[in-house]
């Protein structure tokens, strides 16, 4: 059961008269803060009220109202409901909002993203460059008046498909024959020197000089986007002093697939299979987060059996993800493929369950608003039982035996890549990364959703915040997930699996909702604004991989270059989610 | 495919030496050798890459096809498995990697995205299939193709290699097709240097 | 570190040694099974099933293409159109070109041209053209889930690699209902029962006024 709607005891309007007004639009909640007072407000929120964790920052383009809005969600790391506050500005370039990076450093990448995609300029941001697109790209694509080259209609379904659906490739229709659009007056024949790297290298050069006596030449090295240890198309540009990292900038966007733009053309249901492809290792969890957000707006809750199935699947996903993460971390440490193959075996067995239940190994598309797509087929529950009670506990112990005491792993892991508890919170990290730094913050406990408040499990937590702890916490979490699955297998009731009649057009009342779940990589949030139409007006994903990377630079500076891949491996990112 | 097939050179073998010596053609043994040691590049783009890794792992085991040696360097690889969504930001790098591969080289487009754009085709940062930039030998549909589907595609690559003859494979031809593919430029949008004239013409047309 | 250095590595090596041993032990066990019960480890359904069970040990590999991992009933790859075989072997499409599948399809890769009666100009429930761009389709299964006529279903055949880009037309998509029943027996039985019940209810309803 979702917790009863949190009672907002906090009256910010009374506390900050003149600065803050309640957001009174129907379906909305939270507070609207005066732009000039944003910094003071945020500082008071963090220092006096204890909202030390800024979960998500995003922008919304309210084109008809002529407004741009920046939406913030802040929480307390001690748990409990969060506050949601907004800043509204005129939609006239330049759209400027003060940057919160000085108060919540975790906003850094998210503000860059909002600048890149929505063109909101954050004044005072230390490094406001594009983050997902390249620097010379024309336009801010998430603005409502920006159209992609293959634009057909504002919302799906497109009229050209039926009843007169003469097949035609998008290329044949597009103006330039390719997925391209150039700004007016641009001549492609003109030789212009475009340099997508210039701004990056300039930003890299702005690091503090180290206080060593000798004057040394610093070296700039690019790792990725094609590099076997970057877990996909991820790139890091580092400045080295000898072998020591003195500055580092992650470069992403090589897998930016325009999730949010497509999501705002899709109907609500169509987004479900797209969420599978966010973090493609954990599609069930992604489904979960999105379903929760939309169900919040619709005001429905799934029946008991569906809740149990959902939790069971989400926890199986967590195990599959964590064994994968451990295996790949060991690959990065040089234990080439043996632990990976052992881990894969267990993952494959879990994928078999997903395939039997949902039809696909990876892209499950299994959750529906108000339940799940279909009941568990015969024999699946037995399979889950076999794995959860018999095989997996055995195999997790075996994997831990293989790795936990290994001297090389300990030498490379203990005390390396340390992220302190304070930094972990400041940089808005979440998931195993945050908990390995000693903060027992888990959305399943902090703000329980679904049936987690009824299940027994402990929030895994480790004190040191180094690579080794980040590996070991994944073992702890697998064990807790097994405990949860064991309970769900024992308690799962019979009954319906959908609260409403399955339908492809759902009616979603106007309003906003932020649904978040504890995904295997961290807090996965969906911010959705509905205007009552069949498609969301705004569909934003708070991707844990993306935001966890904010802490990547600070963790690496001062370390050796060889530890960089290990640190990256211990964060456990997936580019599909990071770049979206 | 078993080694017996090597012994069918397409020539008459005198009865007295049948079963005594193995006769084959250079083409056959050459292709057989190449087919059984295709080294893919260790190169993953998106979701499909995960299934590619699963294919290489213990359950499906690429080693059975002589393909387990995934080379991170393009200089050592024969096959590029384009496993996932090709974005505009990534395509210059893919083309550069392709240029760096030694011939003979093959490209397998894995999954809907690499083959024809896939579910994200309409996105502003997505390329509608890698075949717009580099020649593709085999297309494997699916989103993602399961490991077995990928293996099926790899067998298609082997099939293609088997049917090749040095006289007509394109890397042994003079001049043709061997020029490096020009690297696309990241301007206000992705500019393919081969097509600038066409873009210009189309722009002029649409403005007129 | 007071303990002996290298103990952890030895412990880990113990695990790998055990797994190495498992492989041969498992071979011996299967040899015994083959002798006593005639069950083979490779290229046999029981062998594959065992390797996909919780008891799998040792070699885990499925030797595709000689053996194939069986796919579960719900498995989905690309969609296909179901047709009924008429008495003279003609293909009667179940599809009525109602367009629901093309409306739910998330990447909008289904294209349908509805047939219209040349005389009255009214639509006929039969698609004139039906295209699915397989290289856009995300195998999500929503079309099959929401087709009210059980006319579009998700296929189990994944061996589709080809030398060109795939766009499937009506001919390529059409598969007989017997094929559908063979790959998804439970689903087909359930749908047939539901359709029969509906038909019976309709008959009963239409019979009533006359009675
Ligand atoms: S084809 Fe599907 S699974 Fe493969 S990369 Fe594209 S979206 Fe991902
Ligand atoms: S396949 Fe089904 S949903 Fe699609 S047009 Fe035909 S009858 Fe309608
Ligand atoms: S499976 Fe999904 S993407 Fe493919 S045709 Fe059906 S609805 Fe469209």
Nearest CA to ligand 1 atom 5: B84
Q: Does the structure show a pLDDT above 80 at A1?
A: no
Confidence check: pLDDT of A8 > 70: no
Is the CB–ligand 2 distance for residue C151 below 6 Å? Answer: yes
Residue ranges of domains in chain A, CATH in brackets:
7-123 (3.30.460.80), 259-496+510-575 (1.10.645.10)
A190 pLDDT band, cuts 50/70/90, is confident
What is the secondary structure of A538-549 as a DSSP string? EEEEE-HHHHHG
How far apart, in whole angstroms, are the C-alpha atoms of residue A62 and residue C16?
59
Sequence-separated (6 or more) residues with CB below 8 Å from residue A203: A127, A129, A249
Contacts of B128 in chain A (CB under 8 A): 170-171, 178-179
Nearest residue by C-alpha to atom 2 in ligand 3: C140
Protein residue with its CA nearest to atom 5 in ligand 3:
C137
pLDDT at A60: 92
The verdict on A349 touching C (C-beta cutoff 8 Å) is: yes
Which ligand is closest in space to the CA of residue A270?
Answer: 3
| Nearest listed ligand to the Cα of residue C132 | 3
Judged against a pLDDT cut of 90, whether residue A204 lies above it is answered with no
Band of the pLDDT at C210, cuts 50, 70, 90? Answer: low
pLDDT attached to residue A347: 92
Chain B residues touching chain C at CB-CB below 8 Å: 58-61, 64, 112, 115-122, 129, 131, 137-143, 145-149, 151-153, 155-156, 160
C-alpha distance from residue A411 to each of A331, A407, C100 (Å): 16, 6, 59
Distance CA A294, CA A530 (A): 9
Which chain B residues contact residue A137 at CB under 8 A?
A: 186, 188-189
Write the DSSP symbol of residue B149: H
Per-residue pLDDT averaged across A487-499, rounded? 90
- Banded model confidence at residue C79, pLDDT cuts 50, 70, 90: very high
Give residue B119 CA to ligand 1 midpoint distance, Å.
8
Nearest chain C CA: its distance from B33 CA (Å)? 20
CB-ligand 1 contact for B8 (6 Å cutoff): no
CB A267 within 8 A of CB A368: no
From the candidates A148, A154, A161, A342, which should be mutated to test the interface with C, based on the most C CB atoms within 10 A?
Answer: A161
pLDDT value at A59 more than 80: yes
* Whether A311 contacts A451, CB under 8 Å: yes
Mind telling me how many Å the CA of B44 is from chain C's nearest CA?
19
Q: Which residues in C lie closer than 8 A to residue B106 (C-beta atoms)?
A: none
Q: Which CATH class is domain C79-207?
A: alpha beta
State the DSSP H helix or E strand holding residue A523, giving kind and residue range, or none if neither: strand A522-530
- The answer to whether the Cβ–Cβ distance between C163 and B138 falls below 8 Å is yes
Question: What pLDDT score was predicted for residue A487?
Answer: 92
A217 pLDDT above the threshold of 80: no
What integer best gives the mean pLDDT of chain C? 87
A62 CA distance to ligand 3 centroid (A)? 32
Distance A279 CA to ligand 3 centre (A): 20
pLDDT of residue A211: 61
Question: Beta A53-62 vs B185-186: how paired, if at all?
Answer: unpaired
| Per-residue model confidence as pLDDT tens digits over C154-197 | 999 998 888 888 889 888 889 999 999 999 999 899 988 998 99
CA distance A404 to chain C (A): 8
- How confident is the model over B19-46, as pLDDT tens digits? 666 666 777 888 888 888 889 888 888 8
Chain C residue closest to B130 (CA)?
C165
Residues of B within 8 A of C165 (CB-CB) are: 115-116, 129, 131, 139
Least confident of A174-183, A248-257, A286-295, A428-437: A174-183
Give residue C81 CA to ligand 2 midpoint distance, Å: 9
Please indicate whether residue B157, judged by its CB atom, sits closer than 6 Å to ligand 1: no
Mean pLDDT on A466-472: 91
Which residue puts its alpha carbon closest to atom 2 of ligand 1? B143
For residues A68 and A57, is the Cβ–Cβ distance under 8 A?
A: no
The beta strands (E) that lie in A173-299 are given as 219-223, 235-241, 244-251
Task: Say how many CA atoms lie within 13 Å of B96 toward its Cβ.
Answer: 11
Paired tokens of B27? 């083409």
pLDDT > 80? residue C122:
yes
Segment A326-334 mean pLDDT:
87
Chains touching B, CB cut-off 8 Å, 3+ pairs: A, C
Whole-number pLDDT of residue B21: 63
Q: Between chains, do B50 and A256 touch, taking CB under 8 Å as contact?
A: no
pTM: 0.91
Q: What is the pLDDT of residue A213?
A: 59
Q: Which ligand is nearest to the CA of C152?
A: 2
Query: Where exactly are the structural domains of chain C?
Result: 8-70, 79-207
Chain-wide mean pLDDT for chain A?
Answer: 87
Report how far ligand 2's centroid is from the alpha carbon of C91 (Å): 16
d(CA A546, CA A279): 11
pLDDT of amino acid A7? 47
Q: Please, where are the H alpha helices in A23-157?
A: 38-47, 108-118
Instruction: Tell me how far the alpha carbon of residue B118 lies from the centroid of ligand 1, in angstroms.
Output: 7
Q: Does C124 touch chain A (CB under 8 A)?
A: no
User: What is the rounded end-to-end Cα distance, in angstroms, of chain A?
Assistant: 30
Interface of C with A in 22-51 (CB under 8 A): none
Q: Is C44 in the pocket of ligand 2 (CB under 6 A)?
A: no
Report the chain B residue with the minimal C-alpha distance to residue C159. B149
How does residue C59 score in pLDDT terms, banded at 50, 70 and 90?
confident
Q: β-strands A536-542, B79-83: how paired?
A: unpaired
Find which of B55, B56, B59 to mutate to test the C interface (most C CBs within 10 Å of its CB).
B59
Q: What is the pLDDT of residue A311?
A: 93
CA A254/CA A540 separation, integer angstroms: 19
For residue A473, which phi and psi values (nearest 5 degrees)? -65, -25
pLDDT at residue C211 in the model: 46
Chain C residue numbers touching A387 (CB-CB < 8 A): 54
> In chain B, what residues touch C63 (CB-CB under 8 Å)?
64
Whether C64 and chain A come into contact, CB under 8 Å, resolves to no
CA distance C87 to chain A (A): 30
Indicate the residue of A171, A178, A261 with minimum beta-carbon distance to B123: A261
Q: Is the CB of B115 under 6 A from ligand 1?
A: no
Cα-trace Rg, chain B: 20
pLDDT at res. B8: 59
**Is the Cβ pair C107, B131 closer than 8 Å?**
no
- Quick one: pLDDT at residue B164? 80
Flag if A257 and B89 touch (Cβ within 8 Å): no
Name the minimum distance, in Å, from the CA of A119 to any CA of chain C.
Answer: 27
- Cβ–ligand 2 distance for C147 under 6 Å, the answer yes
Q: Is A2's pLDDT higher than 50?
A: no
The candidate with the shortest Cα–Cα distance to B77, out of B57, B106, B53, B48, is B106
ipTM at complex level: 0.91
Quickly state the pLDDT bin for A313 (edges 50, 70, 90).
very high
Tens digits of residue pLDDT in B145-195? 999 999 999 999 988 888 887 777 777 776 655 678 888 888 888 888 888
For residue C153, the CA-to-ligand 2 centroid distance in Å is: 10
**Residue contacts between A and C (CB atoms, under 8 Å):** 148
Query: Could you tell me whether strands A95-98 and A120-123 are parallel, antiparallel, or unpaired per DSSP bridges?
Result: parallel
Contact A549, A537 (CB under 8 A): no
Q: How does pLDDT run across A106-160, given as a tens digit for each residue?
A: 899 999 999 999 999 999 888 888 889 888 888 899 998 888 888 888 888 888 8
Whether the pLDDT of residue A44 is over 50: the answer is yes
pLDDT(A13) > 60 = yes
Chains touching C (at least 3 CB pairs under 8 A) are: A, B
Cα A402 to middle of ligand 1, angstroms: 34
Return d(Cα B151, Cα C64) in angstroms, integer.
Answer: 8
Residue C1 has pLDDT above 70, yes or no: no
Q: Check whether A6 has a pLDDT greater than 50.
A: no
Q: How many residues does chain C have?
A: 211
Strand order in the sheet with A31-33: A20-22, A31-33, A83-90, A67-75, A53-62
Contact B58 C61 (CB under 8 A): yes
Lowest mean pLDDT among A195-199, A235-239, A574-578: A195-199
Ligand 3 atom closest to the Cα of residue C141 is 1
Task: Report the nearest atom of ligand 3 relative to the CA of C136.
Answer: 3
Instruction: Indicate which residue's Cα is closest to atom 2 of ligand 2.
Output: C147
Q: Is the peptide bond before B104 cis (omega within 30 degrees of 0)?
A: yes
For B9-25, give the secondary structure using H, E and C: CCCCCCHHHCCCCCCCC
Pick from B97, B107, B168: which is nearest to B135 by CA?
A: B107
For residue A41, what are the CA distances in angstroms to A23, A44, A85, A149, C70?
Answer: 16, 5, 10, 41, 60
Per-range mean pLDDT, top range of A255-259, B5-9, B70-74, C117-121: A255-259
pLDDT of B130 over the 70 cut:
yes
- Cβ burial of A403 (10 Å; 0-12, 13-18, 19+) is buried
């Amino acid at each position: 059961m979702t917790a009863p709607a949190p009672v907002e005891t906090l009256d910010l309007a009374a506390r900050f008269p003149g600065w803050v007004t309640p957001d009174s639009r129907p379906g909305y909640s939270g507070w609207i803060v005066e732009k000039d007072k944003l910094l003071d407000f945020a500082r008071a929120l963090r220092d006096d009220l204890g909202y030390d964790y800024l979960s998500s920052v995003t922008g919304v383009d309210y084109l008809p109202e002529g407004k741009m809005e920046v939406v913030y969600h802040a929480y307390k790391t001690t748990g409990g409901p969060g506050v949601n506050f907004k800043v509204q500005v005129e939609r006239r370039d330049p759209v400027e909002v003060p940057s919160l990076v000085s108060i919540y450093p975790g906003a850094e990448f998210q503000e860059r993203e909002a600048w890149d995609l929505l063109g909101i300029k954050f004044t005072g941001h230390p490094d406001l460059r594009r983050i997902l697109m390249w620097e010379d790209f024309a336009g801010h694509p998430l603005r409502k008046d920006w159209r992609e080259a293959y634009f057909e209609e504002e919302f799906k379904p497109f009229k050209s498909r039926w009843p007169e659906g003469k097949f035609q490739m998008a290329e044949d229709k597009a103006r330039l024959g390719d997925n391209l659009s150039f700004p007016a007056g641009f001549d492609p024949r003109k030789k212009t020197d475009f340099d997508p790297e210039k701004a990056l290298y300039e930003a890299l050069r702005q690091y503090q000089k180290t206080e060593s006596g000798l004057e040394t030449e610093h070296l700039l090295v690019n790792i990725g986007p094609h590099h076997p240890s970057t877990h996909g198309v991820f790139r890091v540009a580092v400045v080295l002093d000898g072998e020591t990292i003195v500055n580092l900038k992650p470069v992403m966007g090589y897998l930016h697939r325009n999730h949010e733009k497509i999501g705002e053309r899709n109907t609500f249901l169509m987004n479900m299979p797209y969420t599978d492809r966010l973090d493609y290792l954990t599609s069930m969890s992604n489904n979960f987060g999105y379903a929760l957000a939309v169900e919040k707006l619709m005001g429905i809750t799934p029946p008991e059996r569906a809740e149990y199935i959902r939790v069971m699947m989400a926890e199986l996903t967590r195990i599959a993800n964590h064994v994968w993460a451990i295996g790949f971390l060991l690959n990065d440490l040089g234990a080439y493929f043996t632990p990976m193959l052992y881990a894969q075996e267990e993952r494959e067995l879990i994928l078999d369950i997903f395939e039997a239940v949902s039809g696909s190994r990876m892209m499950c598309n299994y959750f529906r608003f108000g339940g799940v797509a279909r009941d568990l087929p015969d024999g699946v529950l037995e399979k889950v039982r076999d794995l959860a009670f018999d095989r997996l506990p055995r195999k997790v112990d075996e994997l831990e035996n293989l790795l936990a005491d290994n001297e090389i792993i300990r030498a490379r892991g203990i005390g390396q890549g340390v992220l302190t508890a304070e930094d972990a919170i400041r940089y808005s990290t979440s998931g195993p990364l945050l908990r390995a730094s000693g903060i027992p913050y888990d959305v399943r406990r902090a703000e329980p959703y679904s049936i987690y408040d009824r299940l027994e499990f402990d929030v895994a937590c480790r004190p040191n915040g180094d690579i080794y702890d980040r590996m070991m916490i994944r073992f702890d979490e697998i064990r807790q997930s097994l405990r949860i699955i064991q309970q769900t297998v024992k308690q799962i009731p019979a009954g319906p699996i959908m609260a409403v009649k399955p339908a492809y057009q759902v009616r979603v009342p106007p309003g906003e909702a932020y649904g978040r779940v504890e995904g295997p990589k961290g807090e996965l949030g969906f911010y959705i604004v509905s205007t009552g139409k069949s498609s969301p007006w705004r569909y934003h994903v708070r991707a844990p991989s993306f935001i966890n990377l904010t802490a990547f630079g600070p963790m690496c500076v001062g370390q050796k270059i060889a530890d960089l891949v290990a640190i990256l491996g211990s964060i456990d990112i997936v580019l599909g989610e990071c770049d979206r | 495919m078993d080694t017996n097939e090597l012994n069918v050179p397409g020539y008459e073998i005198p009865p007295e030496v049948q079963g005594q010596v193995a006769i084959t053609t250079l083409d056959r043994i050459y292709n057989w050798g190449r087919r059984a040691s295709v080294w893919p590049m260790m190169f993953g783009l998106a979701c499909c890459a995960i299934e590619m890794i699963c294919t290489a792992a213990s359950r499906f085991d690429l080693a059975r096809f002589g393909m387990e040696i995934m080379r991170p360097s393009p200089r050592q690889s024969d096959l590029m498995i384009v496993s996932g969504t090709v974005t505009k930001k990534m395509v210059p790098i893919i083309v550069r990697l392709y240029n760096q591969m030694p011939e003979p080289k093959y490209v397998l487009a894995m999954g809907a995205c690499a083959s024809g754009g896939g579910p994200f085709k309409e996105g502003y940062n997505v390329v509608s299939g890698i075949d717009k930039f580099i020649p593709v030998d085999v297309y494997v549909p699916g989103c993602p193709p399961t490991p077995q589907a990928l293996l099926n595609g790899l067998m298609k690559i082997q099939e293609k290699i088997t049917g090749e003859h040095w006289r007509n494979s394109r890397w042994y031809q003079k001049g043709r097709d061997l020029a490096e593919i020009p690297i696309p430029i990241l301007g206000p949008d992705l500019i393919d240097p081969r097509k600038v004239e066409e873009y210009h013409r189309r722009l002029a047309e649409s403005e007129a | 570190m007071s303990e002996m250095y290298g103990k952890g590595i030895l412990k880990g090596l113990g695990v790998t040694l055990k797994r190495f041993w498992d492989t041969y032990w498992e071979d011996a066990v299967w040899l015994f099974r083959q002798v006593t019960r005639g069950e083979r480890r490779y290229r046999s359904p029981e062998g594959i099933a065992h390797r996909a069970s919780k008891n799998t040990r040792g070699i885990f590999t499925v030797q595709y293409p000689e053996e194939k991992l069986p796919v579960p009933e719900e498995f989905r790859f690309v969609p296909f159109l179901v047709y009924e075989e008429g008495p003279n072997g003609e293909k009667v499409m179940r599809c009525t070109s109602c367009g629901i599948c093309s409306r739910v399809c998330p990447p909008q890769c289904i294209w349908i041209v509805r047939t219209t009666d040349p005389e009255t100009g009214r639509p006929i429930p039969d698609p004139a053209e039906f295209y699915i761009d397989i290289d856009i389709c995300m195998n999500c299964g929503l079309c099959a889930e929401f087709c009210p006529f059980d006319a579009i279903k998700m296929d189990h055949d994944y061996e589709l690699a080809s030398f060109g880009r795939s766009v499937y037309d009506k001919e390529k998509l059409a598969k007989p209902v017997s094929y559908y029943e063979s790959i998804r027996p439970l689903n087909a039985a359930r749908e047939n029962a539901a359709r029969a019940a509906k038909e019976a209810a309709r008959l009963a309803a239409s019979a009533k006024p006359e009675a």
